[in-house]
Amino acid sequence: MENKTNVIAETHVGRKSSVRPLGRILTQIWLLFRIQFAEIRDSWLWVIGLASMFPFSTLLFLKFYTVDPTPETMMRIITGNMVFAIVVMAINALSQDISWQKHQGHFVFYASLPIYKLNFIFAVFMRGLMMSFPSVIILAIIGQLVYHIEFHYSLGMIPVLLLSVLSCAGIGTAIGFLSPNHQFTNMLSQTLLMFISFLSPVMVTMSMLPKFLQWTAYLFPTTYVAEAFRQLALQGWTSEVTKNVLFLIGYMVLSFLVILKSVQWRVEQ
């Protein structure tokens, strides 16, 4: 709370300074990022532990259950569990956190500050990135050790990972801001977690799903995240990765605009 108050005070100071528009925007983003970081910095171990538990358990279960899997199957299991980690934190945890803060009236403080909503949403997206990134890396390392397989490393992994988390954080942020109450947020995020994890082509191929699930799968960014991860880890950057990255960029921009248009600081009575 003290950190948040200090940052808010610095924001007011920043308002009085005659900085140029670009400098003001960067200052706001930096201060809002510090607020988001301050809210999670004391619970890093819990964040990493909780985010890793579900995909880590699934990873080990499939290791025990699958007999003599092919390299492609092993890669799909590892990358699928990396996607689980993103879903758990960037959609499930982020949506519930934002919903709880909104219905507790925390965002009324932001309404009194001279900040752009665009910058605030960007800072929230960065929070989703901070919460998801450690677990994704941990699961990638453990997955390779458990299945005795090695990724094809390339610099393309960096933008793909960033876009993957940010596109999923868009869903989590939208659910948190737009849900009518916290109970609805909790039910929706839990249902979405199970649906995306087991009824979309994250751990299985698209052809293994029924036709109607194949169509719904195209609506979720996790479909493109899983395919981009798998292609990158198996072969490096290919035309398929480029196609999936374009979908992720479009998804991120769309969710950004929807949130910007509809976000409200206060709860409507």
Instruction: Determine the pLDDT at residue 13.
Output: 45
pLDDT in tens, the chain (269 residues): 455 555 555 555 445 444 567 778 888 888 888 888 887 777 777 777 877 788 888 888 887 877 778 888 888 888 888 888 888 888 888 888 888 888 888 777 777 777 787 888 888 888 888 888 888 888 888 888 888 888 888 888 889 989 998 888 888 888 888 888 888 888 888 888 888 878 888 888 888 888 888 888 888 888 999 999 988 888 888 899 999 999 999 988 888 888 888 777 666 55
Query: Alpha-carbon distance 167 to 254, whole Å?
Result: 9
DSSP 3-state assignment of 181? coil
CB 121 within 8 A of CB 263: yes
Neighbours of 165 (CB within 10 A): 26
State pLDDT tens for residues 98-112: 888 888 887 777 777
Query: Alpha-carbon distance 92 to 191, whole Å?
Result: 9
Instruction: Determine the pLDDT at residue 266.
Output: 64
Query: Alpha-carbon distance 137 to 196, whole Å?
Result: 20
Instruction: Determine the pLDDT at residue 20.
Output: 60
Give the global pTM.
0.80
